[in-house]
Structure 1
Amino acid sequence: MMPSKTIIALWGATARGAILPIMTLAIVVLMIVPVPSIILDIGFIANIAISLAVLMIALNAAQPLEFSSFPTVLLFTTLLRLSLNVASTRVVLVAGHKGEAAAGHVIEAFGSFVIAGNWAVGIFVFLIVMIINLVVITKGAGRVSEVSARFTLDALPGKQMAIDADLNAGLMTPEQAKARRQEVATEADFYGSMDGASKFVKGDAVAGVMILSINIIGGIVLGTLSHGLSLQDAAKTYILLAIGDALVAQVPALLLSIAAAAIVTRVSSPLDLAGQVTAQFGKSSAWIPVAAILGFLGILPGMPHFIVLPAALGTGALAWQLRKREKHGVIIVPALPAQQTHIIEWSDLQEEAALSVEIGYALIGLVDERRGAPLMARITAIRRQLSRELGFVVPLVRVRDDMSLAPNIYRLTLSGIVVGEDEVFPDDFLALDSGDIEAPVRGHAVKDPTFGLDAVWVSADLRSEAISAGYTVVDAPTVIATHLNRAIVIGAADLFGIDEAQKLIEGLKESAPELAKGLTPLPFGLPAIAALCRSLLLEGVPLKDFKRIALAMVESAPLAANPRALHEAVRQRIGALIVQTIVPARMPLPAITLDPGLELLLAQALQVGPDAEYPFEPALSTRLVNAVNEAATPMMASARSFAIVTSPTARASLSRLLRPHFPETPVLSFLEIPDTKAVDVIAVVGSAGVAPSALTSNQGDHSWR
């Protein structure tokens, strides 16, 4: 048996769903079936109440889409008003000869009180109201709806492209992008519907004139021919009833026309209409000239001083009060729509974006769509390029402003950890010292945030001079994007997880289903595959040839229980893939090697602590890092790629030791270099230091085996 609360909820839902069909049938019944005057009175008051409610909702809406049902509501309210006109016409023509109360008290009140019983005044009042409604409000609202619909439809493709760009740049999540697309489509439908709905109001005004004419002519004819009234009595009675009936209908029509005009002329804002008006009129600079002009008019001869001068004093006092508040830092801005800020959700504690760029307020122009959003375009290009190079989709980059940062500061975070921070100047250019500068340029000397090179921030008018002097000149978005690019490359392992591993497996199932079947779930589970991929990314090995990596894993399946040994075995099997990421196929591999004595020391250290993360003693580690740095400095200064080559047993430990100091320098073992690959030994690191290019020139084929 269903619980009582469930039954009540179902009954309530059914009742709500039945309201609109019942009201539609009632409107049709009003047009066909004769009803007593009391029903007409209730219908007229309900019509006025509904029109007032619609007007209030329209005025309180912060943006047009908050009242997206308005076109349909306008249709049904117009039908209700017309059905009441038809019903009242029937009552007026049938029982109008009995007196002014025959058509109900509401029509009688409008006919006697509002127009003071004077039918001529009533006709003119009705015509004025109808002209205001039809010619001024309805025509203007219809034109605004037409233009808005046209512009909205024309802008629809651009808005969709902007949403896609924001999605690619990480400004919004896929769910937010879906909601935004739905909002854009709803906006286009809304303005298109409003363009047609405005015709309802126009048609209603025309119908009001026709119904008024029918009531007057038909009433006089029936009153004189059927009910024996004199022409004067019939005219007085039926014209008053017709005017009262027309005014009863035109008042709600005028309210709905105002609501329609208010909706289509709104500009999207966090505030409602009252809030917008209050915020924009609450400035002393607007009221000071008003007070001065009214004061001048008040002292002119012949002006009504007792009216104009108090108005000048009132506006002057208002301007003084507003000025006083502005000086004290108090600005009259209505509060935004109330939010339940006291409620904290789990979603508030979660950082959705693995990558983010936080910018100071002076850099907001770099992401402004009106200026082309140059930073967004570069970030999108970086994500696309790195996704191809790394072999997995680089996650969205969230760009947001942070008021806690200095105006020109930007900050890069990866998985919540700050990986970069520096200062850029959006209107200037960074001139990088290429090492061959003819004459220095004037500017703000800094270090390049990405590689630490000497650089100078120069103004736009000195850009050509810097290029001529030999500098490499880049703009601020390029500086940030380059810094982000390097941060992603270095931190690629932190961006790869089990979900990304699953995507690689799914792609492998399509291209090599049998290989995928032999890889997982046995002998390798998804966590083991993800861990191996992360370890490869940590050492700069891309995953774009995952098929080859998967084959190497299958061939190394006996080592599945030992992740370190598995990692080394896979590296040896994909050595050619690793080497080709360092230098092109036809170029020799520049290498820094270790002399036999140092290799022996490393081997002895590994025998003492084979499972240690850092098995080398601190003194040896320090000398080794310094020696490698001395040997690598010329190569890094010339931006040349190279590798450090050591024995297979020492490779992993040496890589962990050197990675914090040389994050982009690969450490290879002899077994990872193909037999056909030429090697150019640029330096040999020994236990006492570096022996440079004396051992450098092995240009032919070289086998480390």
Structure 2
Amino acid sequence: MNKNLAKLAVPVGVVGIILLLVVPIPAIMLDILIIVNIMLGLVTLLTTMFVKKPLEFSVFPSLLLVATLFRLGLNVASTRLVLGDGYAGQVIEAFGHVAVGGSIIIGSVIFLILVVIQFVVVTKGAERVAEVGARFTLDAMPGKQMAIDADLSAGLITDAEAKARRAEVSAEADFYGAMDGASKFVKGDAIAGLIIIIINLVGGIAIGMLQRGMEIGDALNTYALLTIGDGLVTQIPALLMAVSTGMIVTRSNAETDIGSTASAQLTQSRVALVIAGGAAILMAIIPGMPVLPFLIVGGTLIVVAQRLKVREASNVATAAASEAAEKSVAKTDTTEDLIEQMRVHALEIMLAPDLVDIVSGASDDLLARVRGLRRKIAMDLGVVVPPVRTRDSVDLPSSTYVIRIAGVEYGRGIAPAGKVLALGDFLDTLPGTETVEPVFGLAGKWVPSEMRHSAEMTGATVIDRVSVVVTHLSSIITINAARLLTREDVRVLTDGVKQVNPSSVDDLIPGLLSLAEVQRVLQGLLIEQIPINDLPRIYEALSLRAKTSNDPEGLIEAARMALGPALTAQYLDGSVLRVIMIEPALEQSMLEGMRPSDQGTQILMDPARIEAVLSSVRASVATVEASGLSAVLVCAPALRPAIRRLVSTQTGGLPVLSYQEVTSANVTIETVGVVRGTDSISA
């Protein structure tokens, strides 16, 4: 029932306002509606002070339109009563006689002052802030959307979180766009109030003199006071709504309401309060100045400053006690503590002391983002990444972080405090430190956080510090996934497969292959960035192959064949697979030159010819990439492992597939290059 009433309240209210414009109402009803109007303005103003961010009061633009229409309706109703009956209720009469002392001049001055405050100061400023806020918000939308997409691609947020953040960005743009238009209502309301008071004054004097035979003095005294009272009772709530408009458009996202934020920030400097209090006391001794008010204000400021001093001392003592307790715990040298300190962690992020603020325990800090990254890699690669240990190191330079695997440094970067990374082509006008993004090698610049919107307006992609660190960590984990896959991980994964597909495990382990041999096969797949999440299919292929040979290279190729369609799918452009072929004569020569070794099969060829082959591969890849495309190298199944070892380090990880893997998927093959063993290259 209550929900139905709330749903009907606004439509019924708007219909009532429309009726108010054309249907006369009694004076007592007008008094009630005027009081409701004043209270509505007051409640709206207080609400804007207690919201933490503007979107919490997203209905404000529509409410502003309804409130403006309501005040205009009251203006029409009160004008009808003033001109028709010479009486418009007790509220207007009280404002006309009591609030301004029954003086036409005083009432006129007060009304004009209210109009100036509302129209020239509050409304004009709010209109400009709303216009600038709407423009900046709309300009920043593409950058925010790209940042959300980047976080989603890196696994830092889920699909639901990305959807919620996109909805918030869209709602923010809609809100500021609506506020840009709604601020015109406030401006028009101020102008309408001034025009209506002039019309009422002229019309009242004319009716008093022409219809009621009153002298001009009596007519002026009667109708002018009623008109001024009418103007005041409508301008006061209009001023409240104008201040609410200014408050909501200047309100930035914060964790607390405006009162708590203002109190905390105004009292953050004890020295400022002491200086202000001292200045007030000095002004009290100036001849002619009122001594008591200045002394009261100055003394209050100094007392507040002293209380802040006591509070700061208490906070320092508490922090020192906490630090001492932590040090006492750290000094323990039991055998277990020493063993823990000696243990080499699989994954570590070491932070310079000035970067520990990114490990804050908040919902979007480094630890939370790393947890999301572990989940993303587990879904994509089928590998459970070990927990990431995060600790600070005084040996690191300022703003530096280091990513280590098994105690060895695998990556290093910077993430300066108070700055964001801008990636783009037009960053020369922005202040900051030039840098190179550690994952993709893109040129960028660390700019101050307050310049974020300016950077986005240049078309740059802006990334926060935590995202830079997590993206770097994601790249290192993906490249070194094989190194992170331990034998214990393989056992846990195998136990999981056994619960849902026991036959595939029972046939393979331990009868045909040991756990160590299975680990070696899975590591071989991960080296080539092949997901191992389809373990039942991999184990079935290994069972068939292991019955004839336990050669690791052959086992890896058997697992690849079982995953053939999935391998090919990640390189498709629609349904087209662009491939670089090997010249048949060259391929036959390579097959004849194959020899086994401890590292797998190798191709014995003349060094000059090998260099010609590598040059041809690089040229073909460069030609394809120049067209904005990507391709894979295909060859005979027997050659694939040896070819991959030969060309992967020379071509930035060019994928190498066998003919069987390519033809196992229903794709359209497009040849974009041919590798030759001579200096002539065809592409």
Pairwise TM-score range, normalised by the shorter structure: 0.5 to 0.7
Rate the CA distance shift 1:237–1:64 in 2: closer, same or farther, 3 A: same
How far 1:174 moved relative to its partner? 2.1
8 Å CA contact 1:576–1:674 kept in 2: the answer is: no
1:65-104 matched pairs, under 5 angstroms: 65-96=55-86, 102-104=87-89
Q: Which of these residues, 183, 187, 190, is aligned with residue 172 of structure 2? A: 187
Q: Which of these residues, 325, 328, 344, is aligned with residue 311 of structure 2? A: 325
How far 1:195 moved relative to its partner? 0.9
The letter of the residue matching 1:425 is L
Aligned to 2:150: 165
Rate the CA distance shift 1:129–1:497 in 2: closer, same or farther, 3 A: farther
Q: Percent identity?
A: 36
1:251-650 matched pairs, under 5 angstroms: 251-283=236-268, 284-329=270-315, 362=353, 364=355, 393-394=380-381, 414=384, 417-418=387-388, 423=393, 425=396, 427=398, 449-450=404-405, 484-485=477-478, 488-491=481-484, 538-542=522-526, 572=554, 575=557, 590-591=597-598
Rate the CA distance shift 1:553–1:534 in 2: closer, same or farther, 3 A: closer
The letter of the residue matching 2:524 is G
- Distance, in Å, in 2 between the alignment partners of 1:564 and 1:588 is 21
Deviations 1:205-236 (A, max 9, x none): 11111111111111111111112222211111
Partner secondary structure for residue 449 of structure 1: strand
Partner secondary structure for residue 25 of structure 2: coil
Rate the CA distance shift 1:93–1:484 in 2: closer, same or farther, 3 A: same
How far 1:291 moved relative to its partner? 1.5
- Distance, in Å, in 2 between the alignment partners of 1:261 and 1:93 is 35
Specify the structure having the higher radius of gyration (Cα).
1
Matched, 1:54 2:39: no
The letter of the residue matching 1:164 is D
Matched, 1:205 2:190: yes
- Distance, in Å, in 2 between the alignment partners of 1:143 and 1:676 is 66
Q: Output the TM-score relative to the length of structure 1.
A: 0.57
8 Å CA contact 2:123–2:187 kept in 1: the answer is: yes
Quote the RMSD (CA, aligned, Å).
Answer: 5.3
Q: Which of these residues, 36, 39, 50, is aligned with residue 29 of structure 2? A: 39
Deviations 1:57-114 (A, max 9, x none): 0010111111111111100011111101101111111101xxxxx2101101100110
8 Å CA contact 2:525–2:531 kept in 1: the answer is: no
Which structure 1 segments of 5+ residues have no match? Answer: 1-10, 97-101, 332-354, 396-412, 431-446, 461-475, 503-519, 594-671, 681-705
Aligned to 1:177: 162
Matched, 1:18 2:2: no
The letter of the residue matching 1:541 is L
Aligned to 1:113: 98
- Distance, in Å, in 2 between the alignment partners of 1:523 and 1:454 is 41
Which structure 2 segments of 5+ residues have no match? Answer: 318-345, 416-467, 509-514, 562-566, 568-589, 601-636, 646-683
- Distance, in Å, in 2 between the alignment partners of 1:459 and 1:224 is 83
- Distance, in Å, in 1 between the alignment partners of 2:290 and 2:184 is 44
Partner secondary structure for residue 143 of structure 2: helix
The letter of the residue matching 1:450 is I
8 Å CA contact 2:403–2:412 kept in 1: the answer is: no
- Distance, in Å, in 2 between the alignment partners of 1:268 and 1:262 is 13
Aligned to 1:239: 224
Deviations 1:366-392 (A, max 9, x none): 989xxxx9x99x99xx99xx98xx9x7
8 Å CA contact 2:411–2:476 kept in 1: the answer is: no
- Distance, in Å, in 1 between the alignment partners of 2:549 and 2:108 is 95
8 Å CA contact 1:576–1:673 kept in 2: the answer is: no
- Distance, in Å, in 1 between the alignment partners of 2:97 and 2:520 is 91
Deviations 1:276-317 (A, max 9, x none): 111011231220110222222223334332332333222222
Matched, 1:222 2:207: yes
Q: Output the TM-score relative to the length of structure 2.
A: 0.58
The letter of the residue matching 2:54 is P
8 Å CA contact 2:347–2:403 kept in 1: the answer is: no
Rate the CA distance shift 1:496–1:227 in 2: closer, same or farther, 3 A: farther
1:616-695 matched pairs, under 5 angstroms: none
The letter of the residue matching 2:283 is L
- Distance, in Å, in 1 between the alignment partners of 2:490 and 2:256 is 40
Partner secondary structure for residue 72 of structure 2: helix
Rate the CA distance shift 1:538–1:29 in 2: closer, same or farther, 3 A: same
- Distance, in Å, in 2 between the alignment partners of 1:310 and 1:30 is 51
